[in-house]
Structure 1
């Protein structure tokens, strides 16, 4: 499958606003996929990066619950960056897209909603191998 950056979506997360504080929610049926795994990244040093891989079959949505970070996406031909810094915006990443997360602000938390449970066989962790898979 030849996934391109044109399939990336910024998704507005539903929010219930209240003077006591806002409540954002995501439930099955809202995203372009049903999710089976939820995980989050936190305490990432500002000079570190996460990701550095692509998925063969799995789709994900990333949300900056707190703070900010940059998501650099590559489809094998072109590259695009997204700054995530609002807890009511998710970044949908379909299969076949290389991702790197960087420039984490202090106290940032990245929530990931993943289509499936962890499976190492679904990862491409070498960028050259990723580029070969896109040809």
Structure 2
């Protein structure tokens, strides 16, 4: 599945009678991992995200339960359901993202190519749209 430059990526899965094992290594995702964080115990009506990044690329996985990720490139907007721990959503820089509709027990894992740097976040949607206009991407 493709939207803008985002894409769903299958994570290799090894299945046997004892359960499943998935591994993210080498070329599974298109960047080297510098930070890992996860969201959990999120109320079903909570909203997370609501920002874009100037530098950070992200890979989002529903380790448990489900949630929806809204991605927006300034022209197009799409809602993507994540509900399988062996499928992740790659989000490149310059994409607005929001996360909502968390199921009970949902765990959202995010792998990032940068360490945390508040200065590279765009947290206001109007500023995000303005940055796209400035870049000639609108």
Give the shorter-chain TM-score range: over 0.9
The gaps in structure 2 that reach 5 residues or longer are 134-138
For residue 5 of structure 1, report the CA deviation from its aligned partner. 3.7
- Could you say which residue in structure 2 is the equivalent of 1:106? 104
For residue 78 of structure 1, report the CA deviation from its aligned partner. 1.2
Count of residue pairs brought into register by the alignment: 132
**Cα distance in structure 2, aligned partners of 1:28 and 1:35:** 10
- Could you say which residue in structure 2 is the equivalent of 1:118? 116
Q: SS at 1:45's partner residue?
A: coil
Does the 8 Å contact 1:69/1:84 carry over to 2?
Answer: yes
For residue 16 of structure 1, report the CA deviation from its aligned partner. 1.1
The gaps in structure 1 that reach 5 residues or longer are none
Residue correspondence of structure 1 range 56-71 to structure 2 within 5 A: 56-71=54-69
**Cα distance in structure 1, aligned partners of 2:35 and 2:23:** 15
Does the 8 Å contact 1:28/1:35 carry over to 2?
Answer: no
Judging by fraction of residues, say which structure has more strand.
Answer: 2
- Could you say which residue in structure 1 is the equivalent of 2:136? none
Does the 8 Å contact 2:58/2:91 carry over to 1?
Answer: yes
Q: TM-score, normalised by structure 1?
A: 0.95
Does the 8 Å contact 2:40/2:105 carry over to 1?
Answer: yes
Deviates more, 1:21-30 or 1:51-60: 21-30
The list of structure 1 runs, each at least 4 consecutive aligned residues, that deviate by more than 2 angstroms after superposition, is none
Q: TM-score, normalised by structure 2?
A: 0.92
Computed over aligned residues only, the root mean square deviation of the Cα atoms, in angstroms, reads 1.2
- Could you say which residue in structure 2 is the equivalent of 1:22? 20
